[in-house]
Structure 1
Amino acid sequence: MSSLNSTDMVRIYLQEIGRYPMLTPEQEIAYAREVQQMIAIEKRKSTLAGQLHRQPTITELAAAVRLTETELTQTLKQGQRAKQKMVTANLRLVVAIAKK
Structure 2
Amino acid sequence: MQADIARTAGNIDRGYAIHRQVVRTPQIGICGGFGQHRGPIGIQVSGCRGPDYTRLETPVPVDVTAERQKLVALRERELTLRAQSQPGVAACYARYQG
TM-score range, shorter chain: 0.3 to 0.5
Normalised TM-score (structure 2):
0.38
Would you tell me which structure has more helix in proportion to its own residues?
1
Structure exhibiting the larger radius of gyration computed from Cα positions:
2
Normalised TM-score (structure 1):
0.38
Greater RCO between the two (CA within 8 Å, min separation 6)? 1
